[in-house]
Structure 1
Amino acid sequence: MPDTTALRIAHLLVGLPVEILGRTRSGRVMRRPTPPRVYDPKGGRPPKHGGEFVLGDPATWGEERAVTVTDTRLYGQATARAWDRLHPRLTRRAAWLDHVGPLPIIEGTVIRLSVEHLPSDGVNKPVWLWWSRTGATEADVDRCWQAFLRRFDIEHTFRMLKQTLGWTRPRLRDSAAAGRWTWLIITAHTELRLARPLATDLRRPWEKPAPPYKLTPARVRREFRNLRTTTGSPAGAPKATRPGPGRPPGSKNRRPAPRHDVGRVLVGSEPHQRPGEHDSPRDLDPDLPARAPHHSGITGVRGTSDGTLNNKLTASPTRAPMADRVAREHGR
């Protein structure tokens, strides 16, 4: 998630056993803790923020809180460096636009992850992470960046739930039905995971062979129809039935489906009102100035304050209809 969103969520969930981890851009400028207050003969307000920590300038980093080096299979040697008690200087924009009161100081841990190489031979750039906790140990730093890399697997899982299992395929009108359908999809995904040791790899011609313990849920689903015939089921045998007659043809639906408001709210905390089909901007706001009348074939015509047309503008000949234009092109 963006760094501003992560900071906002961390502020809203303060006091709860929740940790927020997000990626921050490499051009971000963090601030150190406020230095101890020292008497200043000149007076004035004490500083609210400490020195700058520029992510793109190594001269401002200083000493790390923790450093870890891990050998990985895909990225080679991964080095993670962490700095403690850093916070950004917030502004009243984006997620903090409607914040009431002074902007808070949200301290956290900044982690810089660098690897030897990428699997795709792409541009190798370091990754900067922000963690909502302070006082991180080496084990915490390793857990954070490894959990961040797992988010790519989570994104592929959501894609599999949508494309393979049809999570978003039905057009449900009730929020309770959508929740039940989501739990059914989660149950089906769990069954595919549990059936992995029993499935045979039915791979496509372009796919590489995979051992049974590494089969993806999509591959297990191809073999699931064969597993279903050999495994038992607590449910009884289905009974023969026929569909109901339904509503007679030509009759009106006297029980329309209820509409559920999505709860769209504007920036000013006002509910959104969709304008009518033939509503003009002047109908919605009577204070708008009158619009000049439309004249066919006149380009650049503007209305004056007294409602007359500007005589200094020139009028162009009216465009010919499409049929006349086609006839001239064909010499008719």
Structure 2
Amino acid sequence: MLPEPGTDRGAGALARFRAGFHQCLKARSDALFELADAMLCSSGPVVSLPGLSLSGVFARGHGALYDALAAGRIDTDRLREVLAAQPIRRLWGRIVLAVDATGWLRPDANCAPGRLYCHVTGHGRGQDQMVPGWTYSFVAALEPGATSWTQILDAQRIGQDDDPAETTATQLREVVEGLIAAGQHRSGDPAITIVTDSGYDLPRLAWQLRDLPVIVVGRLRSDRVLYGRPGAYPGQGRPPKHGRLFRMADPDTWGEAETTSGADTDRYGRLDARAWGNMHSRLTHRAAWIGHDGALPVIDGTLIRLETERLPHTGRPIPLWLWTSQQGLDPGLLDTIWSAWLRRFDIEHTFRFLKQTLGWTVPQVRDPESADRWTWLTVAAFTQLRLARSLAADLRLPWEAPAAPGRLTPARVRRDFPNLHQALPRLTSAPKPSKPGPGRPAGQGNRRKAPICDPGKKAKREKTMREREQRLTSAKG
């Protein structure tokens, strides 16, 4: 039996989270809660949505399952507060958040609204594709060491009328403010580090979050051009905004690095880092900054070049370019920043587990709101696995190697979760007796066919000042 809540951190945290999660379910609460349990207690990966109704922990029929996804209601704001209140592991004394987007591919769902074109990486050069589907942005807290565990704090679907950069900035702001409100970050603590991949506009993200205690770190393409601070004002003409030119592809323009550090690693061999301070991108009144009033800001940061002796599976070194909004790096802080960015890849393991094991993209639902409910159920299920990993036994298969203490993977924790579930308090009520409805009369076709919904962006954003002036002129006229 599990100890009473509060006597053990793992068992108490798991029981408290389940109670808080159940309170966040406002309609069809019992069916939604048991659906999340069925996701955790099923043997093997989730490959069928109605198949979850056959699980022993789901006491209702498959009709109640679909009704819960279609008509259920989840208080997502309260659920975010519950997630933010969970214990968060830190990297070198600071919270590290990874933000990334992944697609729920629905190429054949012509009647499903809200689909965008999701980027799918193919095997081989030039094999990438754009497949219609729903795009979700996840924010997760990372953990130290080589691990496949993350702590998901938020998940939002990017709509056809949304600006992905604005949605990401708003999402990160809500997550950071939620962590501060939950007491996870206090005044005087190290700044929260946000790590991203190369698909994000780092200067714009740093500018939108400039009033929060955060550091933005992300990867840049190796063909980018940055600028340093201008020199002394000569006294004639307009004062310059940009200084020396820094071409990442041209070592002759780099100059002497302000900070350097190095370390010997088992995985990458010799790893050297060099940093140049006061580096910024040249902004223009186009695209993302077209609606900015007044002069465009100069967003200074630190440019980092990371060189490794070798890379796993390839053997050849490939340098990485990082940009961070943090200025004045000493060797210790420099190592902390690039080490935190390397942990960003843990969120890719989380995506794989959500899709391949918990069946996040398995349901063939048409309504995007139903997809949002299923997404939050998946997040709640993964959080329960994270809280149960100190309680689960290593039920390994005969051909699997034993796991070190405290090193169980999410899949192995899920394997023992049915045994843990038997000792947890029952929070749902017994199902009421019912019988299926009459359904559609025999021989009568569907008279309310769903409309065809085209994928892709709906809102058009001006790309030049002329387009913006024409729109404003037509609006006034």
Whether the TM-score (by the shorter chain) exceeds 0.5 is: yes
Q: Percent identity?
A: 45
Q: 2:460 aligns with which of 253, 260, 266?
A: 266
Deviations 1:255-306 (A, max 9, x none): 999x99998301249xxxxxxxxxxxxxxxxxxxxxxxxxxxxxxxxxxxxx
Whether contact under 8 Å (2:257, 2:274) holds in the other structure is yes
Query: For 2:324 and 2:398, how far apart are their aligned partners in 1?
Result: 41
Question: Quick one: distance in 1 between partners of 2:213 and 2:457?
Answer: 29
* Aligned pairs for 1:1-332 within 5 A: 1-2=197-198, 5-39=201-235, 43-91=236-284, 95-96=288-289, 99=292, 101-170=294-363, 171=365, 173=367, 175=369, 178-197=371-390, 198-203=392-397, 205=399, 208-229=401-422, 231-235=423-427, 238-239=430-431, 241-245=433-437, 247-249=439-441, 264-268=458-462
Q: Which moved more, 1:106-115 or 1:247-256?
A: 247-256
Given that 2:395 and 2:416 are in contact with CA atoms closer than 8 Å, whether structure 1 keeps it comes out as: yes
Q: How far apart, in 2, do the equivalents of 1:235 and 1:3 lie?
A: 42
Deviation at 1:114, TM superposition (A): 1.3
With over 3 angstroms needed to count, the CA separation of the structure-2 counterparts of 1:93 and 1:202, relative to structure 1, is: farther
**For the structure 1 residues 248 and 45, does the alpha-carbon distance in structure 2 shift closer, same or farther, using more than 3 Å as the test?**
closer
Letter in 2 for 1:31: Y
Q: TM-score, normalised by structure 2?
A: 0.48
**Dislocated runs of 4+, deviation >6 Å:** 251-257, 259-263
The question of whether the paired residues in 1 share the 8 Å contact of 2:302 and 2:324 is answered with yes
Residue 95 of structure 1 and its aligned partner are, at CA, apart by 3.5
**What letter corresponds to residue 243 of structure 2 in structure 1?**
G
Q: Which has the higher contact order (CA 8 A, sep 6+)?
A: 2
SS at match of 2:201: helix
User: Which secondary structure does the structure 1 equivalent of 2:277 belong to?
Assistant: strand
Counterpart of 2:436 in structure 1: which amino acid?
G
Q: Displacement, 1:26?
A: 1.6
- Deviation of 1:100 after TM superposition, in Å, equals 5.2
Point out where structure 2 has 5 or more consecutive residues left out of the alignment.
1-196, 464-477
Distance 1:141 1:241 in 2: 63
Deviation per CA, 1:101-134: give whole Å up to 9, x if none.
5443211011111122222233311111001222
- Given the superposition, is the C-alpha separation of residues 12 and 240 from structure 1 closer, same or farther in structure 2, using an over 3 Å criterion? closer
The aligned residue for residue 169 of structure 2 is none
Query: 1:182, 1:121 → 2: CA distance?
Result: 35
The Cα RMSD (Å) is 3.5
Q: Distance in 2 between matches of 1:113 and 1:34?
A: 26
Question: For the residues of structure 1 that align with 2:398 and 2:379, how far apart are their CA atoms?
Answer: 25
Q: Does the 8 Å CA contact 1:32/1:49 hold for their aligned counterparts?
A: yes
Structure 1 residues 108, 165: closer, same or farther in 2, change over 3 A?
same
Conserved 8 A contact 2:308-2:317? yes
Secondary structure at 1:47 match in 2: coil
Tell me if structure 1 keeps the 8 A contact 2:203–2:281. Answer: no
Query: Structure 2: which amino acid aligns with 1:14?
Result: R
Aligned partners of 2:303 and 2:323 also within 8 Å: yes
Tell me the distance in 1 between the aligned counterparts of 2:447 and 2:414. Answer: 41
- Decide whether the 8 Å contact of 2:394 with 2:402 is kept in 1: no
> Which has more helix, going by share of residues?
2
Q: Which has the higher strand share?
A: 2
